[in-house]
Amino acid sequence: MPTAPSATVFDEPGHSRAAHAASAASPALTGEIVRGAAAFAALAAEWERLAARAANGVFQTPSFLSIWARHFTADKPERFWCVTVRMRGELCLVWPIEICRCGPIPVRIASNAGAPISQYDEILIAPKGDPLALFAAALETLRAAGVDLLTVERVRADSALAAALPAFARRLGEPDAAPFTVTDPEGLKAFLASRKSKLRKESNRRRNALAAIGELELVMPEDPATTRLWLEETLELKRDWLKDKGMVSRAFLDRRTHDCLESFAGELGGSGGAVRLLAPRLTVGGRFAAQEIAFLHNGAYHLFLRAFSPEFAAHGPGNVLTEMVLAWCAEEGILRYDMLPPRFRNKREWQSGEVEVADYAMPLTATGRLYQGIVVDTLKPAIRNLYYALPQGMRSFLAGRTLRL
């Protein structure tokens, strides 16, 4: 488990020693780090304005991160940093960061705040100014604050973060992809018409098989209590699926994930707000068949979890629910159904496109370079490969003993 950085890194609560550090490359740019809850209080209005411009910044919004921080940094609030860069006083970059120190190793690591729930790492950046210069100022601010290594995960190729990455950023492992479906009415109509005849026939077969059992209905929860109940049921089904497949999800290793998602359901499950948690459910004759949990932000539906009832598994209820949700998105003016990484076979049937995503490391000191070479580049991939080389039965046993959610 990550622990808080040494107290020598920090000055008075709310600010790091790097506060108000001017960029050597551009004196007009000023970097500052605001820590803990002070970031939400001091930056809320400006932060929201930048978030409103980000197509895929739901996991960097104040709405999302204020809830996340209560659960994941409540015991060590100084671990949450909000790196800001201003151009002549105007906020042009916001970058929510989590700081950790890996046990006895004297290395300070920065990563995007929101893990293990967030699915994209991103920066929120204004359209004015040079993105490379703004990001360079943010990196300089982190380096001055004593950060050795910066890691970012699932960076979309079309993101502001990808466009601003410095030349020394090193890609980790093989890239993946985030499949999506366009859901504006004309775009969705064209996509559905373009699907292969075999897929259209299979979709009809699934719907007809379920309809023969009972009436199909897409249901949305009416209140936060129902949203939380449906979320709990979805998490339980997903945990059972992971255990059966012998797969380990980082989010399901931490009990705090459950409590945080429950807060999301209670606080973001209403009809208002820039960020909403959605929980569409397919029922067959009034009985639960399949469920999705998603975050809605800036016209994009981000599919976070999907689960289905074993009772109806033979008839593909998850696929039927997907088709119904796509139609619902088109009716509601939602422009994109984002299935999030990784690229899975079951997503391929419904995607109209995909965007590459990749992980990167940026060492800021010699210590950071050493840690990256030994731990990030070598040790972690070896452990992961060793685990997935085990027989599935053994992996299922281990998953059942380690999953905490």
pLDDT at position 376: 83
pLDDT at position 346: 86
pLDDT at position 8: 22
How much of the chain exceeds pLDDT 90, in percent?
72
- pLDDT of 194 > 80? The answer is yes
How confident is the model over 236-242, as a mean pLDDT? 82
pLDDT at position 244: 74
DSSP conformation letters of 201-257? HHHHHHHHHHHTTS-EEEE--SSHHHHHHHHHHHHHHHHHHHHHHT---GGGG-HHH
pLDDT at position 145: 96
Domain ranges in the chain with CATH number 3.40.630.30: 179-355
Q: Using an 8 Å Cβ cutoff, are 289 and 283 in contact?
A: yes
How confident is the model over 173-198, as a mean pLDDT? 96
Flag the least confident range among 183-192, 206-215, 223-232, 246-255: 246-255
Fold of 179-355: Aminopeptidase (3.40.630)
pTM beyond cutoff 0.75: yes
pLDDT at position 6: 25
| Residues 246-255 pLDDT 10s | 766 666 677 8
Flag the least confident range among 21-25, 118-122, 241-245, 294-298: 21-25
For the chain, the average pLDDT equals 88
Flag the least confident range among 21-25, 35-39, 201-205, 323-327: 21-25
| Residues 255-291 pLDDT 10s | 889 999 999 999 999 777 899 999 999 999 999 999 9
- pLDDT of 214 > 60? The answer is yes
pLDDT at position 252: 66
Flag the least confident range among 322-331, 366-375, 396-405: 396-405
Flag the least confident range among 320-334, 355-369, 372-386: 372-386
Q: Using an 8 Å Cβ cutoff, are 316 and 79 in contact?
A: no
- pLDDT of 122 > 90? The answer is yes
Instruction: Enumerate the β-bridge partners of residue 110.
Output: 99, 150
Work out the burial of residue 71: count CB atoms within 10 Å of its CB; fewer than 13 is exposed, 13-18 middle, 19 or more buried.
buried
How far from 182 is each of 56, 116, 261, 280, 301, CA to CA, in Å? 14, 27, 27, 18, 10
As a CATH number, domain 7-166 is: 3.40.630
How far from 361 is each of 90, 104, 171, 369, 372, CA to CA, in Å? 29, 21, 7, 9, 8
The band of 19, judged by pLDDT with boundaries at 50, 70 and 90, is: very low
Residues near 68 by beta carbon (within 8 Å), at least 6 away in sequence: 113, 114, 117, 118, 260
**Between 242 and 29, the higher pLDDT residue:** 29
Q: How many CA within 13 A on the CB side of residue 161?
A: 30
